[in-house]
Structure 1
Amino acid sequence: MRKWIAAAIIASGIFCFINCKKNTNAVPPVTLGDATLTDVVITQNLSFPWEILWGPDDKLWITERGGRISRINPTDGVIIPLLSISDVVSRGEGGLLGMVLHPDFATTPEVFVAYNYDKAGVYTKKIVKYTYNGTTLINPIVLMDNIPASNIHNGTRLAISPDKKLFITSGDASVSSRAQDMTSLAGKIQRINLDGSIPADNPTAGSALWTFGHRNPQGLVFVGDRLYSSEHGQNTDDEINIIQKGRNFGWPNVEGFCDTGSEPSFCTINNVAEPIKAWSPTIAPSGIDYYKNDAIPQWKNSLLLAVLKDSELLQIKLNAAGDKVEAVNTFYKGTYGRLRDVAVSPQGDVYMITSNGGNADKIIKVSKAP
């Protein structure tokens, strides 16, 4: 019997040596309690990608800060360029940033992007809607403009709600006082209709403002009608927040929870919403997505968070109600460097993009091992 097993092992090894293509990008699988994960690089030679999302055409859609929008075949990693936006200006962490597709893409093939550009010598952010014609993006329409931009703290993640409103995160653009200044578009989360008009039920009539007191929110995802955001702190208190209409999120007067110095009184007076999770020291949280698939059962009902400074993927396990964090688990720490964003496919595969620079950034696929 042992001889038969040994012969089978040798035979299978010979077969794989002849027929299996070696994957030099793969690393040893990560073993978990309920499933074994495997990860593989599917695309390389990207330059500071910012957004990755799963499209209804079963392709990955990405932005790169230099101005390029592409589709990626998740099977073979082939890059399909769509458009290079000519007026994008990439400075520091600025450039072409967030992107989202219309929820009814098959009948309304609209693509919403946010990017920084030079407006008469002033670094500025605008929101532009394009139409996808099957080959490229055409008919740009500016939906929102004059959002302050900077080399840092641009925020700029986009999400569309179940009732088809566009949400836009905007950082304080390196001036912290803007976050509490209701006359500034910086340090806010905006909410507009998909045609750029202002919804009648926004907190302030005629204003796109939805929430304020934000420093640098770089992650945004809807789970049903609940909106989660990840946000960079300064030296302490990176955050996961549940975004609530009209609420103040504290920056720069409050960092993390309302628990030190003058924070409790400021929070009471100013209707400050506390995070559901905070990290000190900071980890530099960026893009998030929600995992609800059975493919990796131990990740179900979790936010997946791409982390820059700590170079890792975090699983943030939520309670059944979705309003508290039960556990945080770390994966791929230091394996691929800085991670900028994460997307989940309908099949339960997870795709991460790096942010290491040098035209060497990658897309990594994480899935349940066969």
Structure 2
Amino acid sequence: MKKWLFCLAAVSLFLFSACKKDNATDNGGDEPAADVKLTDAVLAQGLSFPWEILYGPDNMLWITERSGKISRVNPSTGAVMPVITLSDVVSQGEGGLLGMVLHPDFATTPEVFVAYNYNKSGVYTKKVVKFTYNGSTLVNPVVLIDNIPAASTHNGTRLAISPDKKLFITSGDAATASRAQDQNNTAGKIQRINLDGTIPADNPNQGSSLWSYGHRNPQGLVFVGDKLYSSEHGNTTDDEVNIILKGRNYGWPNVEGLCSTGSEPGFCNINNVVEPIFAWTPTIAPSGVDYYNSDAIPQWKNSLLLAVLKDSELLQLKLNAAGDKVEVVNTFYKSAYGRMRDVAVSPAGEVFIITSNGNNDKIIKVAKE
């Protein structure tokens, strides 16, 4: 009953906010006079299944495409400048070249971290590789972590670097649900390593990259201060947004959403399961997420911006002051551009969204009028 009521409330909140025009804004009733009008436009097109978009310290957009291509994009003109195509990437179903993040001290340490699928002795596998950007291309590859199970679905694979410069990696269950609860298997996990690939001494399990487990398909990851948020695909119910905590279990496949149905409460009590801060039933297929806190669009301040695939939209998840609850959900650009895979926010408060339609995919730029 608890889960049913939670899902009903989430759907009601979602439907209430979804019936807005594409450029409608709502800040949850706080100072409506401060709202600004938004404009959206296609910045670049002709892409093929882009996965990652981020705003780099070099003031350029960086994107990956599943086929193996990494590019830089001018955020003003939309000019796409190829950086490299990784020859050993194998794109199979939803797999291929996926997550990417740049070193936070990129000006002095121009390192680029990427995660991708490849064939290792005939076995589809994921690895994370660190490259150096020499001003035109990527050189000096160093494999940081390897042998992560991969599949044509449920790869997860977002990367984020924490304020204390640890690399976090999401991995789905690679289409085998039981892997998620097996702490000796790297599928269905969020992993944490040092930027040189070594294992931090303060990880939950000595000598292991595991940070959290019980994940099905986490496709979004963002730090807000030292708080780590992840978006995750559910099965037939309960897509989730979670706050990721050290050593904790997120339930899959034994728990979907809240610990409230059948054997779930007992499993949660025994296994230290963390419940999501928000969940959707019916599922919406949440993907990449970024944090917005710029004065440029004041009604979006202190919000997670979530790219959504199945429901083809951008969601604003307005957080409470503590950042541990979603207070308001607002919907933008529903069905205007098709499936949305990832979102990035610039220091100036502009928002960039990539689509995932597989045919002439685009970068959409959103800003105040």
- TM-score norm. by structure 2 comes to 0.92
Query: How far apart, in 1, do the equivalents of 2:328 and 2:60 lie?
Result: 31
Q: By how many angstroms is 1:200 displaced?
A: 0.2
| 1:200-211 paired onto structure 2 within 5 Å | 200-211=201-212
Give the count of matched residue pairs: 341
The alignment status of 1:368 with 2:368, answered yes or no, reads yes
Q: By how many angstroms is 1:136 displaced?
A: 0.5
Work out which structure has the larger RCO, using CA pairs closer than 8 Å and 6 or more positions apart in sequence: 2
RMSD between superposed Cα atoms in Å: 0.8
Partner of 1:242: 243
| SS, match of residue 267 in structure 2 | helix
Query: How far apart, in 2, do the equivalents of 1:82 and 1:239 lie?
Result: 34
Q: By how many angstroms is 1:113 displaced?
A: 0.1
Partner of 2:50: 49
| 1:47-126 paired onto structure 2 within 5 Å | 47-126=48-127
Q: By how many angstroms is 1:262 displaced?
A: 0.6
- C-alpha contact 1:111 1:130 (8 A) present in aligned 2: yes
1:363 partner amino acid = I
Query: How far apart, in 2, do the equivalents of 1:29 and 1:335 lie?
Result: 8
| SS, match of residue 105 in structure 2 | coil
Partner of 1:289: 290
Which of the numbers 27, 30, 36 marks the counterpart of 2:23?
A: 30
| 1:194-233 paired onto structure 2 within 5 Å | 194-233=195-234
CA deviations on 1:75-95 (whole Å, 9 max, x unpaired) are 111111000000000000000
Query: How far apart, in 1, do the equivalents of 2:212 and 2:332 lie?
Result: 32
Query: How far apart, in 2, do the equivalents of 1:57 and 1:203 lie?
Result: 35
| 1:168-317 paired onto structure 2 within 5 Å | 168-317=169-318
Query: How far apart, in 2, do the equivalents of 1:199 and 1:186 lie?
Result: 19
The alignment status of 1:139 with 2:132, answered yes or no, reads no
Larger radius of gyration: 1
2:89 partner amino acid = V
1:111 partner amino acid = V
Residue identity over aligned pairs, in percent, reads 76
Query: How far apart, in 1, do the equivalents of 2:203 and 2:24 lie?
Result: 46
Query: How far apart, in 2, do the equivalents of 1:160 and 1:44 lie?
Result: 28
| SS, match of residue 317 in structure 1 | strand
2:236 partner amino acid = N
Q: By how many angstroms is 1:31 displaced?
A: 3.8
Unaligned runs of 5+ in 2: 1-20, 26-31
Partner of 1:127: 128
Query: How far apart, in 2, do the equivalents of 1:184 and 1:226 lie?
Result: 25
- TM-score norm. by structure 1 comes to 0.91
Query: How far apart, in 1, do the equivalents of 2:75 and 2:163 lie?
Result: 26
The alpha-carbon distance between structure 1 residues 31 and 277, as it changes in their structure 2 partners (threshold 3 A), is closer
| SS, match of residue 264 in structure 1 | helix
